[in-house]
Structure 1
């Protein structure tokens, strides 16, 4: 696979949606985020939020669809032009998250915020919502199994830990067998390190090109 395609498919994605709230001068801004993989899904999510918050003054939205963010849309839903949808979209694109939609529901608090105040409030609401979401990174890589003598397992686990790779599973029979997902860019270096550490005894088998998602933490 060429490097350009690898870059296209290495992106952040939403694994679990979430919700956050920001209050500015008694106006409530409720951000709800959801994983959406098509424009139809995103617009359906918007309609769902409009029904849920039917009594709100505004339900502004933004979404980014596709591994390369090919499709983006946003709406101010009656707020002054450029004060809601665009800032919301810029948070999503700035975070590099794909296949995600956000709706920010505003309950007016009786005090006008001005254009700067609105931009700040809608931006902060999306950021609060993202803090309560679970994200991951879709990667291009390889699934493999590494068989090793028991005396070599500790060395392999040490190397994998340094590379930030956690075994998917471990089977202990006549030999230990570790099943791994390895990022494409780390494959050759890891192969060499494993071979050096075990005098060539540990070798990857069943190499299979895949795309997989690493859950992000912290």
Structure 2
């Protein structure tokens, strides 16, 4: 799953109609609402403000709106393009200025598909990566090798000293088993691991 880094704007002129697409990174339905209001105000003289969006790290929320165009000829084609590219947390808005020539259902579907697809070709993508925060507890005589290994390979957030040494570490979830195996080997099996949380971020 991936998202986009920043807003992209492209313009297509198709049979005298102008199609302006905004592809926007969004993290919530509230974000979507804000951006729709912004673009409707910016292009208040346009004939249509059609949109589609996907929100949620697992593409949980998917919606589209044809804004007066024939049913499923505008919003749905944009939604399908975004799904085809495995995008999420993205809003696609295509503003249409009618040029006087009717495009028909097929022509509209192609136009809105092309408008969204063209913006996607201009995007910088961000990949969804899973991370795990955890505590690693070792004895004081094991600090040398273990701390160097952590600092060289992962993110050391904090160190707490009590009867043991407790490292708070951030690690890509895909590398968690490697970290555990390496530190278990360094400490001859005496280290303990406690997961704090696992979360996803875009990078």
- Please, what TM-score do these two structures have when normalized by structure 2? 0.69
Equivalent residue for 2:96, pick from 106, 110, 121: 106
Give matches, 1:36-55, under 5 Å.
36-55=26-45
Look at both structures and tell me which one has the larger radius of gyration over its CA atoms.
2
- 2:130 match: 140
**Structure 1 stretches of 4+ moved >6 Å:** 205-208
8 A contact 2:17–2:98 mirrored in 1 = yes
In the alignment, structure 2 segments of 5+ residues that lack a partner are 135-142, 157-168, 187-192
Give matches, 1:59-208, under 5 Å.
59-142=49-132, 181-183=171-173, 185-188=174-177
What is the RMSD computed on CA atoms of the aligned residues? 3.7
Equivalent residue for 2:199, pick from 211, 214, 217: 211
- 2:159 match: none
For residues 148 and 51 of structure 1, do their structure 2 counterparts lie closer, same or farther at Cα, with a shift above 3 Å needed? farther
The CA deviation string for residues 183-204 of structure 1, in whole angstroms up to 9 with x for no partner, is 4x34435877x89xxx97xxxx
8 A contact 2:25–2:89 mirrored in 1 = yes
* SS in structure 2 at match of 1:69: coil
8 A contact 2:48–2:69 mirrored in 1 = yes
8 A contact 1:60–1:75 mirrored in 2 = yes
1:19 and 2:19 are equivalent in the alignment: no
Q: How many residues align?
A: 185
The CA deviation string for residues 127-150 of structure 1, in whole angstroms up to 9 with x for no partner, is 112233332122213479xx999x
In the alignment, structure 1 segments of 5+ residues that lack a partner are 1-10, 161-166, 170-178
For residues 148 and 19 of structure 1, do their structure 2 counterparts lie closer, same or farther at Cα, with a shift above 3 Å needed? farther
